[in-house]
Amino acid sequence: MIELKTPNGINVQVPETSDEDISIKFSFDDAKNAKEYFNTHGYVIFRNILRKDTCDKLRHLWDSEVKKSKQFIYRQATAKSERNVLNVNGWVMNPILNLQSLNPASFGKFRKAAVEDVLCSDSLRKAFQSVFDEPPKIVQSMYFEGNSATWEHQDSYYLDSEFVGSMSAAWVALEDITAQAGRFFICPGSHRLELVRQNKNTNIADNHDVYIKKIVDLIKEKKWKFVLQS
């Protein structure tokens, strides 16, 4: 284990190997237990959802079509059309939003592979259906290359369904990364509490920092544990 900090300074123990990762991993043939685990903890991990060659193909198309592009692309963090912003390592640091809506004339191969091989793949659909007993629908998608160090939050504040709290998300790893790069993290059980929603005091346009502070304070108050994916 190594110790890192969240964007707002909370210490977390990050697993460096699979042996240090305490999360139980599930397969498709164990759908009943996977569903029970999800309902209890608010997350579930399925291993080997995508084939390695599928991941390699998408990353290759990202490099050849998207990363090299000088065009404006709609971005996840700013909700604006921007050109790629690269860090010193050459990684795109402003993640793109909605792969299924990319311009097919410029990013046709990447878009097609992202939609057909990942977002609408049989394996990802089966994973969702095993937990929710119904096929999923795509509402939004994102692609991250560089670690943008997303702050502590609950997705419902930014995006949810007509029935608040009933939307779920999938995080799909397309490559292995080192523990020092930072990891996707969640607080098991936090899905059962009604957290902060947007109102005049916490709205994203004027008082987003107030919302983030409330989330961080809740994490400390409830002494929620962090689970980080290895």
Between CA 23 and CA 25 the distance in angstroms is 6
Between CA 22 and CA 186 the distance in angstroms is 13
Q: pLDDT tens digits for 33-70?
A: 999 999 999 999 998 889 999 999 999 999 999 999 99
Percent of the chain with pLDDT over 90: 45
- Nearest by Cα to 185 from 6, 1, 48, 53: 6
Structural domain harbouring 194: 2-228
- pLDDT of res. 114: 97
Q: Retrieve residue 9's tokens.
A: 């300074």
Q: What's the rounded mean pLDDT across residues 205-209?
A: 82
- Crossing angle of helices 31-41 and 122-132, in 10° steps, is 70
Place 72 in a pLDDT band, splitting at 50, 70 and 90: very high
The count of structural domains within the chain is 1
Q: pLDDT tens digits for 135-162?
A: 899 999 999 998 877 888 888 888 888 8
CB proximity list for 43: less than 8 A, separation 6 or greater: 186, 188, 191, 227
Residue 78 buriedness (CB in 10 A; 0-12 / 13-18 / 19+)? exposed
Between CA 197 and CA 204 the distance in angstroms is 10
